[in-house]
């Protein structure tokens, strides 16, 4: 008997076609809006049209008179139940329904529940609300200005609009390094507010059964167990009587991590009406009220030696938090993992300060396709790298070579305390440069410039921390950031696997089975994967921050290994030898020295229920909770070439080369799909996708007419390459990949356009690089800020 071919059974490295596709291509997925319960009512929300205003009157009497309207909820009614405010995941409070004043455009003010959504919308139209407008604050500068109106006057002791202050690093050492520098390079940037905007909006179907006391909530959530904990704490319902079900999710990207007011409304409405209540957000509601990403201003300097060595970095970040500090992030650091910046470079010294500002804008933010604030960190890092190389008169690739960590330098501590543990940074960079033909492109660029054509090349190299977390530094509401898996092998050798993560398109139903196949030799097709139901799934912290594979995926391995350990005892019993004489090869135990005498994992499973050794507990199943010893550190090199039209400022992408080292790849097809999706979001942010506000706090970008997302027509093609450096602490050496390209990609596009312009005066154009901004830079030969205008209309 020969060992199984791992790829043939769908194990590690197999580009196994996805099992979830079979229902999705038939239109048979079950998304939230597909859930329809008997007697279900429908909920709609009346939102504030103003950014900052005192509420002087709410009259709901006309809404109550509409036939089919069953319930109209106001902030006052919430307050009577102590539910007008709720805690956020960042230890602030957020209004569930406004009572005193509205603090951002789109804030929830009244809720109408009716027999169907058309009637509920009629009810919303019949609600009368009078507002007394207050000045709107739409950026950190206004927020911090002396005499600015205090947005959070609901908070005792809040005397200004400061949300938080934070610092990390060694200030004095940094100052000394700057004093000794040959060259100091500096850059100011704005990473604009961007919305993750999954095509499916948020929603919930709340179903409180007064007969059993059980609350079931179907909900678009990336983290069902966190929601269960939050509902237990906010609504003071017993946790065992709460069931959160996350059905098929139409994209998340961080948007579906927080607990939103709409969920609370739907739950209360179901309790009050005694009927199931469905809330489906419309696109505008999603874009103007739910978790955005970014909106950070950066002022950064780099201390340099003439030969290209970076001595130290110094950064100050101002974050625009909106009206409530509702960051959905699990770290103890107020500004997330911003201090992961420069982790791939051999820099010993640095200092970062940050200040959060309340504004009259939607509350947030969320980790939009990244670990929290890592996208900003890597964007600032790689834009700084370009500016510094330019200031030194040094080639972009050479400057990175001088400063990237060497392979032998692991593990290494960054100046801000992270431990980077593995990678082949120089090899990745070289693979990328060879793929794009760097030297040849530089010659082509020079020749084109003589003819008046503007070609440019942009490089972005970065390692990012994934997989929150470890329990020392990462938790949500005090719950540590572990994850879990439960594997049950049935009598016939088929199995069911459940984890505490929640797939939203990443393909867990396919890839988790591959890990089981790798560990046990059970064909992946024989393993069904279930997630998302808190009544059945083991306790887990959900899917975001690329943490599924680093944490839940590790738990799958560990659960399977526990099963294998028990199966080994059963095999020894079946083979009538001692356990020490049993060897394992994929799918089979055999007697040492007599490989023809063996017992397959399936035979062991059968015996676990029908012929177990005396005294052994029957069954073959295991649960594993996994607390990762460190974050994982994938590395990537993205290189983009562009051509800028000097007449119009329009730029076209010529080529995109991506070199990703995400450790061992479970399913290469799915990994590549994740990278291409991330590159598209990188291109989106660089080229068109942003949300801004006018001086009155009206959001520009409140629907898909104004909030531009790239289509198949604009999106460039991608050329993917791989380098594999296994993660030293993950059971199968994987590092996670879902977010790398969205994190590291934007700087490559921007660097390419700046390089194409090739004018020392144009150090920066803030994203998105809209043609008018590029055109302005070409005309004025100066940087172009994208910071929102200050002043009032």
Considering the complex, state which of residue 499 and residue 602 has its C-beta at the smaller distance from other proteins. Answer: 499
Q: Is 746 in the site for other proteins (CB under 8 A)?
A: no
Please give the structure tokens belonging to residue 682: 């990188």
Position among 179, 199, 210, 760 found at the interface with other proteins (CB under 8 A): 199
| Residue 5 in the binding site for other proteins (CB under 8 A) | no
Among 245-253, 384-392, 611-619, 755-763, the segment contacting other proteins (CB under 8 A)? 245-253
Measure the CA angle with vertex 60, ends 59 and 65; round to 5°. 135
Among 6, 29, 448, 695, binds other proteins (CB under 8 A): 29
How many Cβ atoms sit within 10 Å of the Cβ of residue 424? 16
How would you write 168-218 as a 3-class SS string? EECHHHHHHHHHHCCEEEEEEEEEEEECCCCCCCCEEEEEEECCCCEEEEE
Residues involved in catalysis: 222, 369-370, 739
Query: Which range, of 110-118, 400-408, 492-500, 560-568, touches other proteins by CB under 8 A?
Result: 110-118
Q: Does the footprint of other proteins cover residue 34 (CB under 8 A)?
A: yes
Q: Does the protein bind other proteins through residue 132 (CB under 8 A)?
A: no
**Cβ-defined contacts of 129-132 (< 8 Å, 24+):** 129/46, 129/55, 129/57, 129/58, 129/59, 130/55, 130/56, 130/57, 130/58, 131/48, 131/49, 131/50, 131/53, 131/54, 131/55, 131/56, 131/102, 132/53, 132/54, 132/55, 132/56
Q: What's the min distance (Å) between Cβ of 504 and other proteins?
A: 6
Q: CA-CA distance, 673 to 669, in Å (whole number)?
A: 6
Shortest Cβ distance from residue 705 to other proteins (Å)?
Answer: 6
Burial of residue 472 (number of CB atoms within 10 Å: 0-12, 13-18, 19+): exposed
The pair of structure tokens assigned to 152 is 């959070």
Q: Which of 711, 760, 791, 793 binds other proteins (CB under 8 A)?
A: 711
* Shorter beta-carbon distance to other proteins: residue 673 or 726: 673
Among 44, 248, 519, 739, binds other proteins (CB under 8 A): 248
Report if residue 581 touches other proteins, rule: CB under 8 A: no
User: Cα separation of 292 and 699, whole Å?
Assistant: 12
Give yes or no for residue 25 binding other proteins (CB under 8 A): yes
Candidates 467, 663, 464; CA nearest to 551 is 467
Q: How far is the CB of 65 from other proteins (least distance, A)?
A: 17
423 is an interface residue for other proteins by CB under 8 A: no
Member of 38, 393, 618, 717 binding other proteins (CB under 8 A) = 717
Q: Which residues contact 481 (CB under 8 A, 6 or more apart)?
A: 330, 468, 469, 470, 471, 474, 475, 541, 547, 551, 627
Binding-site member from 364, 423, 456, 505 for other proteins (CB under 8 A): 505
Helix (H, G, I), strand (E, B) or coil at 289: helix
429/640 with CB nearer other proteins: 640
DSSP code at position 137: -
Give the separation between CA 242 and CA 206, rounded to whole angstroms.
11
Task: Pick the stretch among 11-19, 128-136, 542-550, 762-770 that binds other proteins (CB under 8 A).
Answer: 11-19
Based on CB atoms, which residue is closest to other proteins, 198 or 697?
198
115 binds other proteins (CB under 8 A): yes
In 10 A of CB 462, how many CB atoms? 29
**How many helices, marked H, and strands, marked E, lie in the chain?**
19, 36
Scanning 127-135, 278-286, 530-538, 759-767 for contacts with other proteins by CB under 8 A, the matching segment is: 278-286
- Least gap, CB of 532 to other proteins (angstroms): 13
Beta bridge partners of 588: 585, 600
Beta-carbon count within 10 A of 451 CB: 6
As measured in angstroms, the least distance from the Cβ of 638 to other proteins is 13
Cα-to-chain-centroid distance, residue 451: 44
User: In this chain, which of 1, 8, 24, 306 binds other proteins, going by CB under 8 A?
Assistant: 24
The one among 1, 5, 22, 239 contacting other proteins by CB under 8 A: 22
Q: Can you tell me whether residue 293 is helix, strand or coil?
A: strand
| Separation between Cα atoms, residue 613 and residue 241, nearest integer Å | 39
Distance from C-alpha of 180 to C-alpha of 760, rounded to nearest angstrom: 25
Nearer to other proteins, 117 or 595 (CB): 117
Residue 314 as a binder of other proteins (CB under 8 A): the answer is no
Strands 293-304 and 183-194: antiparallel
Q: Does 715 bind other proteins (CB under 8 A)?
A: yes
CA 611 – CA 623 distance, rounded (Å): 23
Q: Which of 5, 21, 100, 581 binds other proteins (CB under 8 A)?
A: 21
Q: Cβ closer to other proteins: 144 or 688?
A: 688
- Of 1, 3, 8, 15, which lies in the binding site for other proteins, with binding defined by CB under 8 A? 15
Instruction: Check binding of 718 to other proteins (CB under 8 A).
Output: yes
Smallest separation, CB 230 to other proteins (Å): 24
C-alpha 367/C-alpha 465 separation (Å) is 13
**137 versus 529: smaller Cβ distance to other proteins:** 529
Report the site for other proteins in 689-708 (rule: CB under 8 A).
703-705
284 part of the interface to other proteins, by CB under 8 A: yes
User: ω into residue 240 within 30 of 0, thus cis?
Assistant: no
According to CB under 8 A, which residues from 201 to 240 bind other proteins?
201
Among 4, 9, 12, 18, binds other proteins (CB under 8 A): 18
Supply 491's token pair.
């009598």
Residue 70 CB, nearest approach to other proteins (Å): 13
Q: Which residue has the tokens 């009155």?
A: 696
What is the distance between the alpha carbons of residues 515 and 522, in angstroms, rounded to a whole number? 10
Q: Does 17 bind other proteins (CB under 8 A)?
A: yes
Comparing CA positions, the residue from 369, 460, 435 lying closest to residue 752 is: 460
Q: How many residues of this chain bind other proteins (CB under 8 A)?
A: 64
Sketch the per residue contact string, 643 through 682, with other proteins: x for CB under 8 A, - otherwise: -------------------------xxx-xx--xxxxxx-
> Which 3 state secondary structure label does DSSP give 139?
coil
* Contact criterion met (CB below 8 Å) for 114 and 120: yes
Residue 712 binds other proteins (CB under 8 A): yes
Report the interface residues with other proteins, using CB under 8 A: 14-18, 20-29, 31, 33-34, 36, 115-119, 197-201, 248-253, 280, 282-284, 504-507, 668-670, 672-673, 676-681, 703-705, 709, 711-713, 715, 717-718
């Amino acid at each position: 008997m020969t060992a199984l071919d791992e790829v043939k059974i769908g194990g590690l490295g197999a580009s196994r076609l996805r099992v979830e596709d079979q229902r999705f291509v038939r239109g048979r997925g079950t998304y939230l809006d597909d859930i329809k319960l008997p007697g279900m009512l429908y909920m709609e929300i009346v939102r504030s049209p103003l950014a900052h205003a005192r509420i002087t009157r709410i009259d709901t009497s006309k809404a109550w008179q509409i036939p089919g309207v069953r319930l109209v909820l106001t902030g006052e009614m919430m307050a009577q139940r102590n539910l007008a405010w709720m805690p956020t995941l960042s230890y602030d409070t957020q209004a569930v329904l406004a009572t005193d004043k509205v603090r951002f455009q789109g804030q929830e003010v009244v809720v109408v529940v009716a027999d169907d959504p058309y009637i509920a919308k009629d009810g919303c139209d019949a609600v009368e609300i009078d507002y007394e407008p207050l000045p709107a604050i739409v950026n950190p500068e206004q927020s911090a200005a002396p005499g600015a109106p205090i947005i959070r006057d609901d908070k005792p002791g809040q005397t200004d609009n400061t949300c938080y202050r934070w610092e990390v690093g060694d200030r004095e050492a940094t100052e000394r390094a700057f004093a000794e520098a040959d060259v100091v390079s500096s850059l100011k940037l704005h990473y604009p507010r961007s919305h993750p905007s999954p095509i499916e909006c948020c929603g919930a179907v709340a179903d409180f059964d007064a007969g059993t006391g059980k609350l079931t909530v179907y909900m678009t959530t990336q983290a069902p167990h966190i929601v269960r904990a939050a509902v237990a704490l906010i609504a003071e319902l017993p946790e065992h009587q709460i069931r959160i079900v996350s059905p098929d999710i139409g994209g998340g990207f961080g948007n579906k991590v927080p607990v939103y007011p709409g969920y609370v409304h739907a739950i209360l409405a179901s309790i009050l009406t005694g009927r199931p209540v469905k809330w489906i957000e419309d696109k505008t509601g999603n874009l103007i009220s739910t978790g955005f990403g970014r909106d950070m201003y950066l002022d950064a300097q780099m201390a340099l030696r003439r030969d290209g060595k970076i001595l130290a970095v110094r950064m100050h970040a101002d974050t625009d938090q909106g009206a409530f500090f509702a960051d959905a992030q699990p770290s103890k650091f107020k500004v997330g993992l911003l201090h992961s910046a420069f982790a791939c470079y051999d820099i010993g010294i640095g200092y970062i300060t940050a200040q959060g500002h309340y504004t009259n804008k939607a509350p947030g933010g969320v980790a939009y396709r990244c670990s929290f604030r890592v996208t900003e960190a890597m964007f600032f890092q790689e834009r700084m790298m370009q500016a510094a190389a330019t200031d030194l008169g040094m080639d972009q690739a050479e400057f990175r070579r001088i400063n990237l960590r060497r392979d032998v330098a692991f593990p290494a501590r960054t100046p801000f305390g992270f431990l980077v543990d593995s990678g082949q940074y120089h090899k990745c960079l070289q693979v990328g440069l060879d793929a794009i033909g760097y030297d040849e492109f530089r010659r082509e660029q020079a020749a084109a410039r003589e003819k008046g054509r503007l070609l440019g090349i942009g490089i972005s190299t970065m390692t990012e921390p994934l997989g929150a977390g470890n329990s020392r530094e990462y938790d949500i509401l005090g719950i540590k950031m572990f994850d879990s898996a439960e594997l049950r092998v049935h009598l016939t050798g088929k199995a069911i696997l459940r984890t505490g993560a929640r797939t939203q398109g990443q393909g867990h139903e396919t890839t988790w089975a591959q890990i089981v196949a790798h560990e046990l030799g059970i064909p992946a097709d024989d393993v069904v994967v279930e997630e998302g139901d808190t009544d059945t799934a083991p306790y887990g912290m959900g899917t975001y921050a690329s943490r599924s594979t680093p944490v839940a995926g590790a738990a799958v391995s560990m659960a399977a290994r526990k099963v294998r350990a028990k199966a080994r005892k059963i095999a020894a019993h079946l083979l009538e030898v001692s356990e020490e004489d049993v060897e394992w090869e994929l799918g089979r135990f055999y007697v040492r020295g007599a490989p023809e005498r063996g017992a397959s994992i399936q035979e062991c499973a059968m015996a676990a229920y029908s012929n177990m050794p005396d005294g052994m507990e029957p069954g073959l199943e295991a649960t594993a909770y996994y607390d990762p010893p460190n974050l994982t550190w994938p590395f990537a090199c993205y290189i983009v070439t562009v051509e800028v039209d000097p007449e119009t400022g329009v730029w076209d992408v010529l080529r995109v080369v991506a070199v990703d080292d995400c450790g061992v790849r479970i399913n290469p097809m799915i990994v590549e799909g994740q990278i291409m999706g991330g590159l598209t979001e990188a291109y989106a942010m660089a080229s068109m996708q942003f949300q801004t506000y006018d001086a009155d706090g009206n959001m520009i970008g409140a629907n898909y007419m104004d909030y531009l997302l790239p289509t198949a027509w604009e999106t460039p093609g991608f050329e993917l390459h791989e380098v594999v450096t296994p993660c030293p602490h993950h059971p199968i050496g994987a590092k996670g990949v879902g977010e790398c390209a969205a994190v590291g990609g934007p700087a490559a596009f921007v660097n390419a356009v700046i390089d194409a312009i090739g004018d020392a005066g144009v150090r920066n154009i803030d994203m998105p690089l809209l043609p008018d901004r590029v055109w302005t830079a070409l005309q004025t030969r100066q940087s172009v800020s994208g910071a929102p205008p200050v002043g009032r209309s």
